[in-house]
Amino acid sequence: MSASSVPRQVASPLRIAVVGGCGHIGLPLGLLLCDRGHTVTLVDVNAASVKTVSEGKVPFDELGADELLPKCLASGRLKLTLAAESVRDQDVVLVTIGTPVDEYLDPDIRTFDRVIDDVVQWMRDGQLLMIRSTVFPGVTERLARRVADRGIEAQVAYCPERIAQGYALRELTELPQIVSGCSPEAEERATKFFEDLGARVIPLSPVEAELAKLFTNSFRYINFAISNQFYMLAERHSADFGRIYDAVTFDYPRMKGFARSGFAGGPCLLKDTMQLASFNHNLLTLGQNAMMINEGLPRFIVDQLKSKGPLIHSTAGILGMAFKGNCDDPRSSLSYKLRKVLTLECREVLCTDPYIVDPSFVSLDECVAKSDFLILGACHSQYRDLVIDKPVVDVFGFLKKQAIR
């Protein structure tokens, strides 16, 4: 059954603007809200994305979205615009834009502030402004003061998104929603907003909610680093980490949270770990060490290969360039860092990915045929059953056991 097969209609439909509405967070949320009976306006500065979505095409892989988008457009309740002034006609304004770190690994909220300024100037009394973006602790209260300083009697809530990219339509209602408000009324309205969608709600204060999101992503990033350091240790001593992992996790509940080794890339985990470190005056030893381990994994792989012999006359192949398996998103993928390191060491580096369109990539067959050795960069399901008669580095332990180190 798809995410939209049996929609739960809301009793009191709202007019909702989703700022950043054509992105990985905003679009699935907007589609779900529209499917539940709300009138939704997707606001985005990316004209190409607005055009693509207006034509009924989803610009990225999202389970269930390809079926739901045409349905929402046909309903007449889904609108798209480049104009921020459209927020003035809404009951609820949701902000879902990205919040990167700068070149010093400190939070870069310039784009966020610019978008907020564009939005707030069109707001009116009685609206609910809900932030879904991951933000530095204190930003929500600061935003509430900016709204009040303009003389606008609106409610401000912080309710961080918690979904796994690609599965938002399912997880938006399955996972509990963390809800906070800068006033009791804001928290009450945000709570009702998500409960009407069928989601369970966990109330926190704004700063607790901001920290909760950063703690979640930092924990996951650190957890990956633990496994990656163990992987490196095992490799240095000619031990098979995959066999060790399977042994210690088999029917042993105390190791249930032990992550598999592999690339910890993507647009969120490292970025949010660094946001948390910056908030704590760069005193987050676990997070900073995790960055060195996870970001150092591509170099470790190449060094291990070099220890077996020079690579200068070899052709390397990378299977998968997305930041995670069965995904078309290359943002902050460590496969690209791996390619850069290999380019300095090898005669040639070939890359392939079934989800990403890139003229520099080759087909899977060509990559396998022409490479002297292969490295798994992303756990795409298409690779699971590959039978390869040449060396394969599988840090993830994903491939069938014919793969060799």
DSSP string, 175-195: SPEEEEESSHHHHHHHHHHHH
Q: Tally DSSP H helices, then E strands, for the chain.
A: 13, 12
Does residue 286 contact residue 297 with C-beta atoms inside 8 Å?
no
Name the residue ranges covered by the structural domains of the chain: 15-204, 239-393
Report which DSSP code applies to 261: P
Q: Which value, in Å, is the radius of gyration of the alpha carbons in the chain?
A: 23
- C-alpha span between 82 and 96 (Å, rounded): 15
Q: Is 383 helix (H, G, I), strand (E, B) or coil?
A: helix
Provide the token pair at 125. Answer: 């009394």
Q: What is the pTM of this model?
A: 0.92
The CATH number of 239-393, from 3.40.50.300, 3.40.50.920, 3.40.50.720, 2.70.98.60, is: 3.40.50.720
- C-alpha span between 120 and 129 (Å, rounded): 9
Across the beta sheet with 315-319, the strand order is 348-352, 315-319, 373-376, 392-393
Pairing type for strands 373-376 and 315-319 reads parallel
Superfamily for domain range 15-204: NAD(P)-binding Rossmann-like Domain (3.40.50.720)
* pLDDT of amino acid 11: 77
Provide the token pair at 378. Answer: 């992303």
> What's the Cα-to-Cα distance from 166 to each of 29, 42, 170, 292, 377, rounded to whole Å?
12, 19, 9, 28, 18
- C-alpha span between 77 and 21 (Å, rounded): 14
Q: Which residues are CB-neighbours of 167 under 8 A, at least 6 positions away?
A: 63
Per-residue pLDDT of the chain (405 residues; tens, 9 = 90+): 344 445 678 878 999 999 999 999 999 999 999 999 999 999 999 999 999 999 999 999 999 999 999 999 999 999 999 999 999 999 999 999 998 888 878 888 888 999 999 999 999 999 999 999 999 999 999 999 999 999 999 999 999 999 999 999 999 999 999 999 999 999 999 999 999 999 999 999 999 999 999 999 999 999 999 999 999 999 999 999 999 999 999 999 999 999 999 999 999 999 999 999 999 998 999 999 999 999 999 999 999 999 999 999 999 999 999 999 999 999 999 999 999 999 999 999 999 999 999 999 999 999 999 999 999 999 999 999 999 999 999 999 999 764 444
* pLDDT of amino acid 6: 52
How far does CA 64 lie from the centroid of its chain?
A: 17
Supply φ then ψ for residue 107, to 5 degrees.
Answer: -60, 135
15-204 and 239-393 share one fold = yes
Place of tokens 């190449």: 302
Report which DSSP code applies to 133: S
- C-alpha span between 139 and 371 (Å, rounded): 49
- C-alpha span between 77 and 31 (Å, rounded): 10
Q: Which helix (H) or strand (E) holds 310?
A: none
